Amino acid sequence: MTDARSIILHEYPTSPYAEKIRLALRLKNLAWSRVEIPVIMPKPDLMPLTGGYRRTPVMQIGADIFCDTAIILRELEARYPMPTLKLPGHEGLAQMVAGWTDGRWFQASVAVIFGALADHVPEDFRKDREELSGGQAFDTAAMKAAAPMMRDQWRARLMLLEERLQGGKGAGSGLYLIGTKPGLVDVHAYMNVWFMQQNVPDFLEQCFETADLTRAWFERLSEFEGQEPETISSTDALRIAKHAAPRLVAATTRSESQGFAPGEMVAVCPDDYGKVWVEGELVHADSQRVILQRITEEAETLHVHFPRAGYLVRRI
Ligand SMILES: N[C@@H](CCC(=O)N[C@@H](CS)C(=O)NCC(=O)O)C(=O)O
């Protein structure tokens, strides 16, 4: 039964970022519930929880809301350390790798995939993604034209995984990107490969022809079954948040270069796309996390957590 202690993932099946978290949950064999959220705006039952943050996925545990996969993974590791994905060698490096998988490599995935699907992309999806990117054209015709070059880009990045696995094999492993167990670096690297497999599998197959170790790595990761999630409604999720209290956290800000103090009103916004400022009372800030307290009609008191890297914070 889903309750205040349960992990609730607000997601949709085709989201590659959600797949990162689903993979982490499978690797850690955690029980979880899911709310299926719309692929495009509006997301009326998600907004009261996040305060306006619109991207996918969002994790909820009771009245704590986690926006962005970086903070979701950090929280999962903190609350459920066994089995750990933060294996020796993965610390810090994992988020550096995420900068690459979520940045240039993801852009290449979008270009290849939407170039291939160009003629079938619904108009409302195109408009939504233009709004998400701050008005930049979601030009599938241009993506289609650039697809051959972008496929080269995509494969060049995949082959870096092959190089890493070859290096590991030379050192006696080569099963995962670092060592013999799957960890956070693998979780980040898996995302674009999964996204391609779901959408342009022929191209992935072609890439795999010269990437045996990467193919085996991907299959190995895909074999983890984990637990089947329970699907709950968005209104149930709101009710769970309303009847829970945020986890107690010391109100602290230390060595903040902007001099923030707990209790101040601040706003937080992604620095890349989906730029919506979420406002709230600052509860906690450190180099990797910022927590805002928000009081809403629908869910009462919430703590909304964001990563620090990639999220701007300002006083209001
Ligand atoms: N940095 C974010 C990026 C998340 C992201 O861009 N997700 C895509 C879906 S895979 C998205 O939000 N698309 C728009 C939407 O779902 O409304 C994270 O790591 O969670």
- Which of the listed residues 222, 241, 256 is the one where a domain comes to its end? 222
Write the pLDDT tens digit of every residue in 98-155. 999 999 999 999 999 999 999 899 999 999 999 999 999 999 999 999 999 999 999 9
217: confidence class by pLDDT, cuts 50, 70, 90:
very high
Q: Is the CB of 15 under 6 A from ligand 1?
A: yes
| Single-letter amino acid, residue 89 | G
DSSP character for 307?
A: E
Q: What is the model's pTM?
A: 0.98
Q: Is the CB of 69 under 6 A from ligand 1?
A: yes
Q: Is the CB of 195 under 6 A from ligand 1?
A: no
- Which of the listed residues 222, 243, 264 is the one where a domain comes to its end? 222
CA atoms of 9 and 34, how far apart (whole Å): 5
Q: Which two tokens stand for residue 49?
A: 């929880």
Write the pLDDT tens digit of every residue in 62-109. 999 999 999 999 999 999 999 999 999 999 999 999 999 999 999 999
Q: What pLDDT is stored for residue 315 in this prediction?
A: 97
CA atoms of 60 and 50, how far apart (whole Å): 10
Same domain, 216 and 242: no
Domain that holds residue 293: 8-83+229-315
- Which of the listed residues 175, 197, 222 is the one where a domain comes to its end? 222
In a domain, 187, yes or no: yes
Report the CATH number at residue 269: 3.40.30.110
Whose tokens are 């992309």? That residue is 121
> What percent of the chain has a predicted confidence (pLDDT) above 70?
100
How many of the other CB atoms lie within 10 Å of CB of 314?
11
Using the atom order of ligand 1, give the atom closest to the CA of residue 15: 10
Same domain, 307 and 234: yes
pLDDT of residue 1 exceeding 90, the answer is: no
In a domain, 88, yes or no: no
Q: Is the CB of 109 under 6 A from ligand 1?
A: no
Q: Which two tokens stand for residue 206?
A: 């072609």
Q: Is the CB of 307 under 6 A from ligand 1?
A: no
Q: Are strands 311-315 and 265-270 parallel, antiparallel or unpaired?
A: antiparallel
Q: Is the CB of 74 under 6 A from ligand 1?
A: no
Report the CATH number at residue 137: 1.20.1050.10
Q: What pLDDT is stored for residue 172 in this prediction?
A: 87
HEC per residue, 76-92: HHHHCCCCCCCCCCCCC
Residue nearest to atom 18 of ligand 1 (CA): 68
Measured in angstroms, how far is the CA atom of residue 167 from the centroid of ligand 1? Answer: 32
Q: Is the CB of 293 under 6 A from ligand 1?
A: no
Number of domains into which the chain is organized = 2
Query: What is the SS3 assignment for 93?
Result: helix
Query: What is the SS3 assignment for 293?
Result: strand
In a domain, 135, yes or no: yes
Q: Which two tokens stand for residue 40?
A: 């495009």
Residue nearest to atom 1 of ligand 1 (CA): 68
| Chain mean pLDDT for the chain | 97
Write the pLDDT tens digit of every residue in 148-206. 999 999 999 999 999 999 999 999 888 999 999 999 999 999 999 999 999 999 999 99
In a domain, 277, yes or no: yes
CA atoms of 230 and 33, how far apart (whole Å): 5
* Ligand 1 probe mutation, 10, 11, 17, 68, most atoms within 8 A of CB: 17
Same domain, 203 and 281: no
In a domain, 1, yes or no: no
Give the CA angle between residues 285, 287, 293 to the nearest 5°.
20
